[in-house]
Structure 1
């Protein structure tokens, strides 16, 4: 066994002081659907509902061993890393200062404060994360505190490797395939580095959000590159640039092993897991399950482990998740319609709707024109093919309309 594998096992043993191993559960619903043995490694069930606690705890443990007098730790995070560090600070009874953007939802601030208790101070600085990070690093230099990186750190990676240690121990054998979500690459680095040493026959697939494909970009360019734009919906994995250290642990991967998950499709997976299995996953936590339909042809009859990395989902976002899911599935569309300004025009339009169609939004955008008025209309239906019938009827009746469902610019302002 390599030195890293031995260190990962030592980290796993130390983590037992903090919480028991998270469940590795065979999921009957997914197994039956794909004709495979699908197991979920439930990192959404740690005390802070994400795997981030592992890396934060291990890094803090090893830093304190190297510098026993260090009693002040700092991080910059608006999510799971902040909560993991806060929990670790309370465990070790050390001071923690956590920098968060001013725009951080109050729910995340409150949860971080709850996990850290009196040992944690939260500073809200910066409208954007880059500003928050700069403030945290400057604070470290000024105060002599220890910065705790979210993923690009050897001790953090070693802590995340404990997920791989537990998978092998709990399954009792090596799986055929492990599916891992990727943000900055800490989890993927740790798990793959351990399993490649302890179970060399295991294959890997990686999943990134379509709007934050930092690993894919690094593999295509031969090194980490900063993405020009990042979609922040999958906030737990929306990272603009893969870490330099995590890149060195993942540079062996092939671009074909990295799958990209559209943000709206992830919403379908989140709702399915919630409604069918009663499992609450945040967007990043659903990535490994979301990609299974793309892998269906190669996983039949195999043993597959999907790491569900987090379950910190704010239910105030549920309407947005449902909306995104419906639009991706083709069950909801938005149109701008030129409505003739004459008696009976609205009645004529309503007669074009089928028995499964329902108006979810109707709003006049401009009704000062003498002959026509512009209307924003949202329609839900039970089957995607119903829209072809509906638009066919509008075409036949001579109604002028524009489908803006996938028009990002108009959707942002109107929907």
Structure 2
């Protein structure tokens, strides 16, 4: 197997910042889905989420090309902002992170602990992104926007799937949650670079279906709202570049309910003893929905990505205490 130079470079950059995360075939999870199921634990990165990979690669390459940059600005619901703050601190520069009003207090605290200034702007992620863009423009060239998705970010997130697809036995299918698309674009890039036949399935929430709708229509579709407790996948405006990668490399999408996401959070707790935020459990929720619909028939082995575990304690306690679905 050969990996292209861009992914080799990304793997080196990520390797300097963190160790590979584990992938485990949990027996209870496999029994739940009635198929051998491997889980990639990117809830065990230094920020508790996969976003670190893309953020550190994007910022490192940015500073290679523009070493004069001293201030980064980004919009986030939390994990991307932590990645940008982590990378900024690593390179000794400033970071300002714009979050929507009412954002996770735990994620806000984590970004501040990494040295970032956190400011509120707008009612949802897209509004926060507009606010961040306005801040960059007002800075007059003294600050640079770090987007949620870019080819460099996808190279970084591809290191997750490079680890997963080379360390686990051959996977027939890989489920990946889709927010702005960096995780699933990285999975496509890694799968293709390795020359594997693994099917890649995207997972979105019913309340934030923009990527699934766009994939089905073959064109970009925005939604007026993105309403889900899984804030990491609350997207209403898909990225055009990500849609192109998804369109040529993803087989289909699964749309999961809020109840399905909550059940997946509980399943992570019960079967793997791991903390999962809503978006972090979304890939498993997609696999569980497929299992219930008989769409795992013919699969010998599947993979799911636990992409993050940054969830506020009160929300998590409520989800775990709720009765499981029949």
TM-score by length of 2: 0.91
Is 1:55–1:159's contact at 8 Å kept on the other side of the alignment? yes
Q: CA deviation at 1:101?
A: 2.7
Q: CA deviation at 1:93?
A: 1.1
Q: CA deviation at 1:84?
A: 1.1
Distance 1:258 1:283, change over 3 A: same
Distance 1:264 1:155, change over 3 A: same
CA RMSD of aligned residues (A): 2.2
**Deviations along 1:179-218, whole A, 9 cap, x unmatched?**
1111111110111122023133111222111111122111
- Whole-angstrom distance in 2 between the partners of 1:49 and 1:322: 19
1:212 aligns with 2:208: yes
- Name 1:314's counterpart in structure 2: 312
1:263 aligns with 2:258: yes
- Whole-angstrom distance in 2 between the partners of 1:109 and 1:232: 19
Q: CA deviation at 1:283?
A: 0.6
1:158 to 138, 155, 158: 155
**Deviations along 1:292-328, whole A, 9 cap, x unmatched?**
23433435661211111111011211354257x54x8
1:245 to 241, 244, 249: 241
**Deviations along 1:59-98, whole A, 9 cap, x unmatched?**
0000001111112111011311111111111111111111
- Whole-angstrom distance in 2 between the partners of 1:75 and 1:199: 34
Q: CA deviation at 1:221?
A: 2.1
Instruction: Structure 2: give runs of 5+ residues left out of the alignment.
Output: none
- Name 1:138's counterpart in structure 2: 134
Distance 1:322 1:35, change over 3 A: closer
TM-score by length of 1: 0.72
- Name 2:277's counterpart in structure 1: 282
- Name 2:41's counterpart in structure 1: 42
Number of aligned residues: 321
- Whole-angstrom distance in 2 between the partners of 1:72 and 1:131: 21
Is 2:155–2:189's contact at 8 Å kept on the other side of the alignment? no
Is 1:174–1:199's contact at 8 Å kept on the other side of the alignment? no
Is 2:175–2:283's contact at 8 Å kept on the other side of the alignment? yes
Distance 1:131 1:287, change over 3 A: closer
- Name 1:170's counterpart in structure 2: 167
**Deviations along 1:253-281, whole A, 9 cap, x unmatched?**
57x72111101121122112213431110
**Deviations along 1:1-57, whole A, 9 cap, x unmatched?**
788x43112201211111100111111112233343211110111111111111110
- Name 1:11's counterpart in structure 2: 10
- Whole-angstrom distance in 1 between the partners of 2:2 and 2:23: 25
Q: CA deviation at 1:147?
A: 0.4
Distance 1:293 1:127, change over 3 A: closer
Q: Which structure features the higher share of strand residues?
A: 1
Is 1:183–1:214's contact at 8 Å kept on the other side of the alignment? no
SS at match of 1:251: helix
Instruction: Structure 1: give runs of 5+ residues left out of the alignment.
Output: 330-383, 385-415
SS at match of 1:211: coil
Is 2:42–2:49's contact at 8 Å kept on the other side of the alignment? yes
- Name 1:112's counterpart in structure 2: 111
1:305 aligns with 2:300: no
1:98 aligns with 2:97: yes
2:219 to 212, 216, 223: 223
Higher relative contact order (CA 8 A, sep 6+): 2
1:187 to 183, 186, 194: 183
- Name 1:51's counterpart in structure 2: 50
**Deviations along 1:227-266, whole A, 9 cap, x unmatched?**
1332131111010022111011011257x72111101121
